[in-house]
Amino acid sequence: MRLAALTGEKARGGAAAFGLGIVAAAGQAPLGLWPLALLGFAGLIALVLPAATPLRAAKLAWMGGAGYFGAALIWIVQPFLVDIARHGWMAPFALGLMAFGLALFWAVAGYAAARFTQRPGLRCAALVLMLTAAELARSYVLTGFPWALIGHLWIGTPVMQLAAVTGPHGLTLLALLAAALPVALRARGAVLALVLVAAAWGYGAWQLARPIPPREAAPVVRLLQPNAAQHLKWRDDLVPVFLRRQLTLTAEFSDPAPDLIVWPETAVPYLLGQAEPVLKMISDASGGRPAILGIQRRDGRRVFNALAAIGAGGAVTHVYDKYHLVPFGEYMPLSGLFARFGIFGLAAGESFGYAAGPGAQVLDLGALGRVLPLICYEAIFPQDLRAAPIRADWILQLTNDAWFGTFSGPYQHLAQARLRAVEQGLPVLRSANTGVSAVIDARGRVLRDLPLNTAGQLTAPVPPALPPTLYARFGDWPAGLVIIVALAALIYRRFSVSR
Taking each helix axis as running N to C, give the angle between helix 91-116 and helix 34-48, from 0 to 180 degrees, rounded to the nearest 10: 60
Residue 326's closest CA among 300, 344, 308?
Answer: 344
Strands (E), 311-443: 316-321, 363-364, 370-375, 394-399, 428-432, 438-440
Mark whether 10 is an active-site residue: no
Secondary structure (3-state) at 425: coil
| One-letter amino acid for residue 163 of the chain | A
Q: From the candidates 59, 124, 233, 322, give the one annotated as an active-site residue.
A: 322
What Cα–Cα distance (Å) separates residue 369 from each residue in 221, 365, 394?
A: 12, 5, 8
Work out whether strand 302-310 and strand 316-321 pair parallel, antiparallel, or are unpaired: antiparallel
Residue 321's closest CA among 356, 371, 274?
Answer: 356
Q: From the candidates 59, 124, 135, 265, give the one annotated as an active-site residue.
A: 265
Q: From the candidates 135, 330, 376, 378, give the one annotated as an active-site residue.
A: 376
Residue 430's closest CA among 463, 406, 407?
Answer: 463
Cis peptide before 485 (omega within 30 of 0): no
Mark whether 376 is an active-site residue: yes
Gap between the Cα atoms of 129 and 173, Å rounded: 7
Gap between the Cα atoms of 95 and 104, Å rounded: 14
Residue-wise DSSP of 29-87: TTT--HHHHHHHHHHHHHHHTT-SSHHHHHHHHHHHHHHHHHHHTGGGGHHHHTTHHHH
Residue-wise DSSP of 260-315: EEE--TT-SSSBGGG-HHHHHHHHHHTTT--EEEEEEEEETTEEEEEEEEE-GGG-
Mark whether 124 is an active-site residue: no
Q: Which residues are annotated as catalytic? A: 265, 322, 376
